[in-house]
Structure 1
């Protein structure tokens, strides 16, 4: 039976919904006869409706050449930030995973923060200010050998306005004799200065203990996507036309376009109104290869691209339709899927595609993107503007699917009929059964199946495809996780 026939046969009414909900309630009650852990109970109660909480964010700020990147390397435990004995080496804010005393957090390195500067230094200062606003707490690094400078005092004023908890690190205290130099930093009014040597590791443990006391258990900035207009990340390998599409949608030359691959390095945000709705489009650097294989400026550009994707709700992945589909194109799409973002595949440069190439591209899509057939696809030309007006509908559809939820009653009624018509194959004399199912979260949709035995990957894909056929979800990845539970032995604890 096709999805359309199945839906037509149901002719859903309020009575059907009520009956399905009662049946689901019975299935849920029967599940209590199985061994459930605390996480199971939380999922069933709706307490685990979203992904695990993102770790809190700690920004490391200070004026140039006070040792911020050295401290970042010390905390992370390896050389991740470039360090040189000259000011201004770090220009962008870059985040790294870190942990201390069993607690995880994200550490953000920033460029030197100076007040009243121009040119690239002004851009660096803005990046540092943005890092503070996007952090749960801040470490202000000061050179204890120099003492309080006018720049330090100005930075403190800005930090107070941010209303973020601040931990003061008095760096370059390489011996106990120098600890008296740190005492003068009480004058900044930020409380106790922690004397440390980022280079040698001296005192960093006490500093990190203070950091953990300042950081919240749950991040107030990393969990939620930014409010306001929907955010769309333009992704793709270099020179597929991301900047050209942004300029076409904006109706003006907002970003530099050049045939040279790699023209864009930093994510560029632009608010653009399409069909009466405002969108924030983020033009990103072209993704050349895996992050760990990149070097220098390309490495930092790839990190910033990944950060822009994390803050977006939808990814427009551009491919050059005039060229064969590459492994890198597929990897970019997978990156968006792994990030759990809604997805629209944009086949750009359609004006350069002849009839033979169109048939060839369809075959490549069917062969190489068999697992991404659900993605919305738009063929257009950023250079001429042909069919760019079709983007809004595709983006709306993908985002609606990304936020869609299937009622528990309907989901279990559907899976019950599906399992009756197409039961799981018998393996080792046993046939696993789906005991109960619930949609645990949206953005992207995530379904949890409680089963009496292991559900094979092939059957999971079959269930996912049938869910898509029946309930839609065009343009969004969906996740299906299976929790195998055994029946509680008689006399066992509930």
Structure 2
């Protein structure tokens, strides 16, 4: 991954841009037409959710990024929840229930002008079963007189109601403060030091991720079913492989695009991204019996951009024949050429074929991920490289590498101080030669260029 930056070297700390945590999720629920979408617009500070004075305008859950007092979180707008819904309304209610089950916290909106209805009490029962932190919001409190009516919402048994006018913004700041109080810290912000190495198993749905975890663990740790989407939340398991204990994170399959995922798949995608960023090594499981897909490539790119060590597990090898293996070889040469640095294992989680090679491949990837090159060795290498293969002349000028340093490991991040901008093709050449010289097997390399600033001529 190459880019040009203008920031000081000291800003390349471990996990700076490469370990951003997935933000916590807040679901906004309530019966139809209580003002949920208006409140969502107020919480995110912009008019994004469709608002109309008609029940049922919001059908699917829709998510929006929000920022308050320096903390990021995701607000999910849901359709109106009704316990006796049928047809389309039942699907909307199901979406809302999924939002409740998968969110980190819930904002339950009631209409102060209407008061408590049977539907509201039905929602309360669902919220209690979920055991999620809940904020009760008494909406449409536009003036002081409505405050007394909002106090009647204590009868729902969800604690103190927060009087708010989503339309005018009255009380919205206090509500945002209250939301931050009940939200958990984003996963991945604080990683344990000195504990077992963290390994995330990721990939498309139904490629055999849970089967691989079960085979490595030697027991049925995760639910396995031919139906895709069995796993929803990441499951952390301590598993000993070849005498070393790892913390494995079995994740839900990543769908085509997070925004296109429906129901619990959306939240599963959020949590899978968090699992990638919590991990040190990611095992991307690919179904070898089927052609490589755009989803496979997107997941691999995601792992690379997150700066994690990478191992590609070509699973279901027992279902491939000679013809399929020949085509797979061509697909790898054509589509995975930019991931040639990654480790690979041809295996079958079902039969156990070559699963015993996974442990050594994980250690190999970790070693490459944590490799550090001394400044002296790096600059001696760069000197030989530039002498034998100088940068092409561009516009009458030939940029040179003046000095290089490895700013961090995990992932290996290099900064090159140069006399001018360099071609992307030349940077790829440098990365390739770095791998030939120093290894970095199984790890992405982040290479940044610091062109020397031109000195202004004094008049």
Which bracket does the TM-score occupy, shorter chain normalised? 0.7 to 0.9
Q: Which of 396, 399, 405 is the aligned partner of 2:366?
A: 399
Counterpart CA distance in 1 for 2:175 and 2:422 is 44
Structure-1 residue corresponding to 2:163: 195
Counterpart CA distance in 2 for 1:209 and 1:300 is 22
1:348 aligns with 2:319: no
Counterpart CA distance in 1 for 2:436 and 2:36 is 51
Helix, strand or coil for the counterpart of 1:252?
coil
Structure-2 residue corresponding to 1:234: 201
Q: 1:173: Cα distance to partner?
A: 4.7
Q: Which of 253, 260, 270 is the aligned partner of 2:220?
A: 253
Counterpart CA distance in 2 for 1:456 and 1:327 is 28
Structure-2 residue corresponding to 1:413: 380
Q: 1:473: Cα distance to partner?
A: 1.0
Helix, strand or coil for the counterpart of 1:481?
strand
Q: Which of 147, 152, 163 is the aligned partner of 1:179?
A: 147
Helix, strand or coil for the counterpart of 2:73?
strand
Structure-2 residue corresponding to 1:223: 189
Structure-1 residue corresponding to 2:16: 51
Structure-2 residue corresponding to 1:379: 346
Q: What is the RMSD of the two structures over their aligned residues, measured on CA atoms?
A: 4.5
Quick check: 1:60–1:68 contact (8 Å CA) kept in 2? no
Counterpart CA distance in 2 for 1:292 and 1:367 is 28
Quick check: 2:234–2:252 contact (8 Å CA) kept in 1? yes
Helix, strand or coil for the counterpart of 2:233?
coil
- What is the number of residues matched between the two proteins? 411
Which structure 1 residue ranges, 5 or more long, are not aligned? 1-35, 112-122, 133-138, 187-191
Helix, strand or coil for the counterpart of 1:300?
helix
Helix, strand or coil for the counterpart of 1:315?
strand
Quick check: 1:57–1:108 contact (8 Å CA) kept in 2? no
Counterpart CA distance in 2 for 1:85 and 1:456 is 56
Quick check: 1:61–1:68 contact (8 Å CA) kept in 2? no
Helix, strand or coil for the counterpart of 1:292?
helix
1:43-442 aligned within 5 A: 43=9, 45=10, 48=13, 50-52=15-17, 54=20, 60=26, 71-72=39-40, 74-76=42-44, 77=46, 78-79=48-49, 97-100=65-68, 103=70, 105-107=72-74, 131=104, 170-176=137-143, 177-180=145-148, 195-198=163-166, 200=167, 202-203=169-170, 205-207=172-174, 210=177, 222-227=188-193, 228-442=195-409
Quick check: 2:378–2:404 contact (8 Å CA) kept in 1? yes
Normalising by structure 2, we get a TM-score of 0.73
Q: 1:411: Cα distance to partner?
A: 1.7
Normalising by structure 1, we get a TM-score of 0.68
Structure-1 residue corresponding to 2:425: 458
Helix, strand or coil for the counterpart of 1:261?
coil
Quick check: 1:100–1:208 contact (8 Å CA) kept in 2? no
Counterpart CA distance in 1 for 2:428 and 2:373 is 18
CA displacement, residues 193-218 of structure 1 (integer Å, 9 cap, x when unaligned): 863234x3622553377579989xxx
Helix, strand or coil for the counterpart of 1:465?
helix
Relative distance call for 1:97 and 1:471 in structure 2 (3 A) is farther
Counterpart CA distance in 2 for 1:333 and 1:389 is 23
Relative distance call for 1:57 and 1:328 in structure 2 (3 A) is closer
Structure-2 residue corresponding to 1:489: 456
Counterpart CA distance in 1 for 2:175 and 2:272 is 29
Quick check: 1:142–1:171 contact (8 Å CA) kept in 2? yes
Quick check: 1:226–1:311 contact (8 Å CA) kept in 2? no
Counterpart CA distance in 2 for 1:378 and 1:441 is 28
Helix, strand or coil for the counterpart of 1:366?
helix
Which structure 2 residue ranges, 5 or more long, are not aligned? 79-97, 155-159
Q: 1:369: Cα distance to partner?
A: 0.7
Q: 1:381: Cα distance to partner?
A: 1.1
Counterpart CA distance in 2 for 1:254 and 1:90 is 33
Q: 1:424: Cα distance to partner?
A: 0.6
Counterpart CA distance in 2 for 1:294 and 1:212 is 26
Relative distance call for 1:211 and 1:476 in structure 2 (3 A) is farther
Counterpart CA distance in 1 for 2:254 and 2:382 is 40
